[in-house]
Structure 1
Amino acid sequence: MSKTQSSFSALVRLLRYARGHRRSIIVASTYSILNKLFDIMPEILIGMAIDVVVRQDQSFMADLGIAEPFHQMLALGALTVGVWAFESLFEFLLLVTWRNLAQRLQHDLRMDAYGHLQDLDMAWFEDASTGKLVAILNDDVNQLERFLNGGASDLIQVGVTVVSVGAVFFYLSPPIALMAFTPIPVIIIGAFWFQRRAQPLYAEVRERVGFLSTRLANNISGIATIKSFTRESHELDRLGEDSEAYVEANRRAIRISSAFIPIIRMAIMAGFVATLVYGGKLVLDGELNAGAYSVLVFLTQRLLWPLTRMAETIDLYERAMASTRRILDLVETPIRVRPGEQPLPVDGVRGDIRFEKVGFAYGDGPAVLSDVDIDLPAGETLALVGSTGSGKSTLVKLLLRFYEPTAGRITLDGHDLNGVILHDLRASIGFVSQDVFLFHGTVRENIAYGQPDAGDDAIEAAARAAEAHDFIMTLPQGYDTLVGERGQKLSGGQRQRLSIARAVLKDPPVLILDEATSAVDNETEAAIQRSMKRVAEGRTTVVIAHRLSTIVDADRICVLDSGRIVETGRHDELIRRGGIYQGLWDVQTGSAGD
C-alpha cells in the first residue's frame, strides 16, 4: 500500500475489518451523541432562567403552562438536575463502551495479525524486519487503541455539536446563526489542509518507529558480539541516529499540527465577536429577548471553543490511521504457500519420502536445486552432504513446506505435499536444527513444547534418550530451571540435547537432523551422536551432515554439488568410488595429501 493512501480509505478498511464489533460501535456512538446533547442543554437552561428573571410571566416557561415565576425556576432547577444526571450517566457509558471496544479491537487486531504472520511463508520473513513487525504488533496497535479510547468519541461529538447547536441558532435567530457558523468553513478547510500535509508525515513517523525497533532488537540480540568487539560507542551512535530521525519525523508532524491551532482560534474569535456584538444590538433594538441572547452567546462558545481540540483530535486520528494501514497491510499480506486440503493420517504415516525431479530457486534468483531425485523408504536414514550452498538445507525446507518446489514434486507415503494439510504434515515431522531455539521458560516447558500435555515421566524419558537428563539434574532447579531467552543460560551442546529431547517426545514418524553436531565439542558430539542413533530407530530420518563421522552408518548418503545430486551410496561404497565424498572424508580425517 502507498504511504499516501487516504486516511478515509484506511478508516473504511478498519470499519470493514471491525464489522464483527458493529453493535458495540453503534452503541458507543449512540452514547457519545446522547452525552453531547445533554452536555449542551445547561446553556439553554441558563438562557431560559434569564428569560424567567427578565420577562417573568411572559417567559418561554410561562408559555409552557407554568405561570408563577418561582415555580418556573423550580422546574428549571429540576430539569438541570435531570440533565446533569443523564449527561453524567452517558459520559460513564460512553467511556466504558469505547474503552472496552478499544480493548477488544486491539486484541483482535494483534491476534489476527500475529496469527496471519505465523501462516506466511518463510520467503516473506527473509525480507521482513523483526523490529518493524514488533512495532506493528505492539506500538501501532496501541496507537489505534489510544484513538478509540477518546479520539473517536471526540470526532462524533464535534459533529453532534455543530448539528444540534446549529438547529438552536437557526430557530432563535437565522442572521446570528449565519455569523456564528461563518468560521466553520475556515476550520473545515484548515482541517483538510492539515490532513493532506500531515498524512505522509505520520506515515514517515510509523516507518521510523519500525527502524528504531529493528535497531534495538538487533542490538539486544547481538549484545555479546557488541561487547566482544568493544563497539558499544559505535552502536550507541547508530541508535542515536535512528532515534534522532524518529524525533525529526515527529517534529515535522508537530510543526504542522501546531500551525492548525492558531488558525482555528482566530476563526473562533471572529464568530464569537460577531455573535456578541450583533446579538447585543438586536436585544437593544428589541428584536431579540435577553434570554435568547444569553443562549446564543453561551452556545457560541459551546460550538466554537471545542473546535480548538480539533487539531489534537485530527493529530490522533492521523497517527491512528497511519498505524491502521500498517496493521491491515500485514493482515492482508497474501500467503503464497497454499495450506493444502488433503488430510494426512498422522498416526498412520510410515515415512516413505520421494523427491521427483525437484527444482527450486529463491525468488527470481538462480536455481538452487535442479532435477533432484531421491527415493527414501520408510524407516531408513538418508544423509545429505556437500559444500556450503550446495542445497542441503533447501531440500529440508521443501520437505517441511517452508517453500514450494518450482519444479517437480515431493511425496510422503504417496501424498503430494502441496495438497496435504500443513498442520498434518508438520505434525508428522520432528526437526532438530543446528540453530537451536529455546523459549524463555523452564527446561521442562522447552522439552514439552511439541507435546504440552506430556507427563513428567515421558519428559524425563525423552531427556534420557537425548542424554540430557544428567546435566539437567545438575542445574539449580533441575527440570524447573529457567533457560533464559533463547536458552542463553545453557551451553550450545546442552541446548542441542534439549532440542533432540523435544523431538523425541514428539515421537514423529519422520525426523530431520540439520547439522545437529556442527558446533559442539567431541565429547558432546559423541553423546549427541549416540542419542541420535537411538532417536532414529524405527523412523525415517534425514540428516544434514557437516561432520561425516556422524553418518557412516546411514542407509544412504547423497552428495550434492551446485544443487544436483552427484553421488549416492553408503559410506563404504562412496569411499571406494573415490569422488567428491572421498575428498571430503580425507579432508576431515586428515588423510588428504597422503
Structure 2
Amino acid sequence: MSPDHPLRRLAGFARPHRRTVASASLYSVLNKVFDVLPELLIGVAVDVVVNQRDSFLARAGFPEPLHQLYVLVALTIIVWVLESLFEYLYALRWRGLAQELQHGLRQAAYGHLQQLPPAVIERERSGRLMALLNEDVNQIERFLNTGANDLIQVAVSSLLVGAVFFFLTAKLAFLAFLPIPLILVGAFWFQKRLAPRYAAAREAAATVSARLNNNLGGMATIQAYTAEAFEAEHLRQASDGFRARNAEAIRFSAAITPVIRMAILCGFVATLLYGGVLTLRGELGVGSYSALVYLTQRLLWPLTRLADMVDLYQRAMASVNRVMDLLDTPVPVRGEGQLPKRPRGELSFAGVAFDYDGRQALQAVTFAVPAGATVALVGGTGAGKSTLLKLLLRFLDPKRGTIRVDGTDITTLDPAALRGWLGYVAQEPFLTDGSVADNIAYGDIGHDRARIEAAARAAEAHDFIAALPGGYDAPVGERGGNLSGGQRQRIALARALYRDPAILLLDEATSAVDNETEAAIQHSLARAGRERTTLVVAHRLSTVRHADAIHVMEAGRIVESGTHDELVARGGAYAALWRLQTGRASNEWRVTSNE
C-alpha cells in the first residue's frame, strides 16, 4: 500500500486509537469464529442422528446418543452466547471509534482552516468546505461503523471455512473456492472504475451545496430582482450534474451483486452436486456433507455484500482524500515573537509591495503613523487601502518591504500576539449567532457586563441596544439578520473597543450608518483615539476630515499626503473627490450650464 493511499492516511490519523482498532478487530474475528461454528454443529447433529453410536461425539467419549444431544445443546448455547457477546463488543468498539474519529477529523479540519490565511479560504468555495466538514467526515464515520467490520469478517470467514473444507475434502474445497478469485477480480475491477466516479460525485455535491449556500445568503436580492426562476434553473443544472455523476457510479455499483450471485451459484451447485456424489459413494459422511453445504453458503453468501462494502469503501476513501488534503495544506511559517505588554502603537510602512497572483495591489508604499495618531487611507476601489490593513493584520505577508509596530518587524511576531492588540472593524462585519453581549465581548469567555456597556456607549450603540426586546441579551440572529446594517456596524465597532486595543483599524466602519450616527461615532472615536493609534480606510471623506494625516491612494501607490485642509487647498486628487462628494462639482456644473 503506497504512503499516499487513503487507508494509510486514515490509519496515520487514527494512530492514537490503535488499541481501540486492535480490540475492535479482535472482537470482529472472534465473533466470526463463533458465527461459523453453528454450521459445523449442524453437521455434528446430523452425524449424531444418522450414525448414533458411531458418530464423532461417540468417538469423543459420549457413546449414548441422548448424551450426545445434551452435549450438542450445551455447545450450541455456549457458541451462540459467545457469538452474541463478541458482536456486542465489536459494535461497541467500532461505533465508538467511528464517533471519536468523526469528532477528531472535524475538529482537526476546522482547526487547520483557522490557521490558514483568510485569502486561502476565500479561494475555496464555501459549499465545498461545508461538504468536506459535514458530509465527507460523516461518510468516513459510516464506513467505520460497519464497513471495516464487514471487510474483516469476510476475510476471516473465508479463511475459517476454507480450512474446514480442506480438512474434510480437498477436492470439494477446490470447487467451492473456484468462484472466489473471479469474485475478487471482479470486485477490484469495479472498484477501480468506481473511485473516480465517486470523486466526481463528491465534487458535484459540493457544487450543489455552494449554490444553495450562495442563494440562501442572497435571497433578498434574488426576490428583489425577480430572479427566482433564473436561480432555480442554476440550482437545477447543479443538481442535474450531481444526479448524472451519481448515476454513473450507481450503474457500476448496481452491477456488482448480480455478477457475484452468478459466481456464487456456480460454487454452491458444485458443492451440492459433487459433494452429494461423494456422499452417495460413501467417500464423505452425511454429517460432513451437511456441514459443507451449509458452509458453502456461509463462505460465498457474505461475498454478495462486497457490492455494499466496495460502494461504502470507495465513498469513504474519496472523502478521506479530501479531508486529508485539507489537513496537508501547508500553514505559512509565522514568527513567534511577542510585543511588550502594551505597545505604544507606532506604525511604519516601508516600501511595501504586494500582488494577488500577479496582479499588482501595492507598489512601494511608504508612510508612518505616530503613536496615538489618527491616519486615514482614501482613494477609489482597488487602490490597495484594505490590502494594507490585511497586511497589518497578517492575513497576508508583503512580497517586499516591511511593516513595523514600535520598530518591530511584524513578520517576526506571533500573529495571535500581534492581533491581541489590534481592534478591527470590517466593512461587512461578521456577527455570530448569539446575543448582543456575546458579540460585543466576542472571544472573551468570562466577559465583563460593565465593559460591554461602556464599549457600546463609545460606539453610540447603547440606546438602540437598550430599546431591543431583551436589551444586551437580545439575539442578533444568524449573521446579525435581526439588526439593520448600521446597527451591525455599531456592534462591530463596540466589539473592537471592548478589547481596548492599542491600534484601531477601521475598514469603512461608518459606511452603513446615517449622517447623524456617523457624527456621533466620529465624536466617540475622537475621544477613544486619544489613547490609541487609529488607521482608517474610508470612501466617505467626511469620515476622515479631522484625521492627523490623510494618504490618497491610486493603483497601489500613495499619490498625495497631508491634512484635509492642505489637500483641499492643493487642488489635486483629494480635492476633486471632496468636491464630488460634497456636491460642489455638480453645483459648478449647474452654474456653467446656466451660463
Structure-2-length-normalised TM-score: 0.96
The answer to whether the Cα contact below 8 Å between 1:451 and 1:505 also exists between their aligned partners in 2 is no
CA contact (8 A) 1:386 1:561 kept: yes
Aligned counterpart, 2:353: 359
* Counterpart among 493, 496, 507 of residue 500 in structure 2: 507
Q: 1:137 aligns with which of 133, 144, 151?
A: 133
**1:61 and 1:72 in contact (8 A); partners too:** yes
Q: CA deviation at 1:317?
A: 0.7
Is 1:527 matched with 2:514? no
Q: Deviations over 1:196-217 (max 9, x none)?
A: 1111110111011100000000
Tell me the amino acid that sits aligned with residue 103 of structure 1. Answer: Q
Q: 1:450 to 1:350 in 2, by over 3 A?
A: farther
| Equivalent pair of 2:342/2:421 in contact (CA under 8 Å) | no
CA distance, structure 1, for counterparts of residue 24 and residue 111 of structure 2: 28
- Does the 8 Å contact 2:24/2:90 carry over to 1? yes
**Which stretches in structure 1 are left out of the alignment for 5+ residues?**
none
Q: Give the 3-state SS of the residue equivalent to 2:353 in structure 1.
A: strand
Give the aligned partner of residue 186 of structure 1. Answer: 182
Are the aligned partners of 1:7 and 1:199 in contact in 2 as well (CA < 8 Å)? no
From 401, 414, 426, the counterpart of 2:407: 414
**Kept after mapping to 1: 8 A contact 2:3/2:9:** no
State the alpha-carbon separation in 2 of the partners of residues 414 and 7 from structure 1: 46
- 1:446 corresponds to which of 435, 439, 453: 439
Q: How far apart are 1:7 and its partner, in Å?
A: 12
Using the TM superposition, give the Cα deviation of residue 6 of structure 1 relative to its aligned residue in structure 2, in angstroms. Answer: 9.1
In 2, distance between residues paired with 1:82 and 1:45? 12
User: Where does 1:423-434 land on structure 2 (aligned, <5 Å)?
Assistant: 423-434=416-427
Secondary structure at 2:531 match in 1: coil
Shift of 1:237: 1.9
CA distance in structure 1 between the partners assigned to 2:301 and 2:368 by the alignment: 78
Select the residue among 87, 91, 97 that pairs with 1:91: 87
- What is residue 458 of structure 1 aligned with on the other side? 451
Partner of 1:50: 46
Q: Are 2:99 and 1:106 aligned?
A: no
Query: Partner letter of residue 23 of structure 1?
Result: R
2:583 counterpart of 1:590:
yes
Distance (Å, rounded) in 2 between the aligned partners of 1:244 and 1:390? 41
Are 1:26 and 2:22 matched, yes or no?
Answer: yes
Q: Are 2:80 and 1:74 equivalent residues in the alignment?
A: no
- Residue 551 of structure 1: aligned partner: 544
Return the alpha-carbon distance in structure 1 between the equivalents of residues 387 and 187 of structure 2: 54
SS of match in other structure, 2:243: helix
**1:214-363 correspondence to structure 2 within 5 Å:** 214-335=210-331, 337-345=332-340, 347-363=341-357
Inter-partner Cα distance in structure 2 for 1:68 and 1:302 = 31
| 1:355 aligned partner, one-letter code | F
Q: Percent identity?
A: 56
Q: Secondary structure at the match of 1:549?
A: helix
Q: How far did residue 453 of structure 1 move?
A: 1.6
- Name the CA distance, whole Å, in 2 between partners of 1:196 and 1:527: 67
Match of 1:171 in 2: 167
- 1:7 and 1:318 in contact (8 A); partners too: no
2:363·2:556 contact (CA, 8 Å) conserved in 1? yes
Higher deviation after alignment, 432-441 or 156-165: 432-441
Shift of 1:107: 0.6
Displacement after TM superposition at 1:413 (Å):
1.6
- Matches of 1:374 and 1:26 in 2, distance apart? 62
Aligned mates of 1:344, 1:180 — CA distance in 2: 75
In the alignment, the residues of structure 1 paired with residue 25 and residue 99 of structure 2 have an alpha-carbon distance, to the nearest angstrom, of 16
Cα deviation for residue 20 of structure 1 reads 1.3
| Amino acid paired to 1:452 | I
Partner of 1:40: 36
Give the RMSD, CA atoms, in angstroms: 1.5
Matched with 2:591 is none
Distance (Å, rounded) in 1 between the aligned partners of 2:122 and 2:144:
34
Aligned counterpart in structure 1 of residue 12 of structure 2, from 8, 11, 16: 16
CA distance in 2 between counterparts of 1:515 and 1:10 reads 46
Equivalent residue pairs, number: 587
1:452-491 CA deviation, whole Å, 9 max, x = no partner?
A: 3222111111111111111011111111111111112111
1:584, distance to aligned residue in structure 2 (A): 1.5
1:127 maps to what in 2? 123
Aligned to 1:66, the other structure's residue is in SS state coil
Cα distance in structure 2, aligned partners of 1:11 and 1:452 = 39
Does the 8 A contact of 1:390 with 1:562 survive in 2? Answer: yes
C-alpha contact 1:450 1:505 (8 A) present in aligned 2: no
AA paired with 1:492?
G
- 8 Å Cα contact 1:338/1:418 also seen in 2: no
The question of whether the paired residues in 1 share the 8 Å contact of 2:347 and 2:368 is answered with: yes
Report deviation, 1:240. Answer: 1.5
Contact 2:458–2:521, Cα closer than 8 Å, also in 1: no
1:566 alignment counterpart:
559
What's the secondary structure of 1:190's corresponding residue?
helix
Aligned partner of residue 377 in structure 2, secondary structure: strand
Amino acid at match of 1:368: A
Q: 1:8, 1:54 → 2: CA distance?
A: 57
Contact kept, 8 Å, 1:468 with 1:494, in 2: the verdict is yes
TM-score by length of 1: 0.96
| 1:415-436, Cα deviation, whole Å (9 max, x unpaired) | 2111111110111100011111
1:148 alignment partner, one of 144, 148, 154: 144
| Match of residue 201 from structure 1 | 197
User: Structure 2 CA distance, aligned partners of 1:123 and 1:483?
Assistant: 27
CA–CA separation in structure 2 for the residues paired with 1:8 and 1:316: 20
Mean Cα displacement is larger for which, 486-495 or 173-182? Answer: 486-495
Give the Cα separation in 2 of the matches to 1:238 and 1:505.
Answer: 43
SS at match of 2:381: coil
> Retained in 2: the 8 A contact 1:7–1:322?
no
User: Which residue pairs with 1:396 in the alignment?
Assistant: 389
SS at the partner of 2:5? helix
Distance 2:507 2:215 in 1: 27
Alignment-mate amino acid for residue 533 of structure 1: A
The one-letter code sitting in structure 1 at the alignment partner of 2:379 is G
The separation in 2 between residues aligned to 1:589 and 1:582, in whole angstroms, is 10
Q: Deviation at 1:88?
A: 0.4
1:517 to 505, 510, 513: 510
Look up the SS of the partner of 2:423 in the other structure.
strand
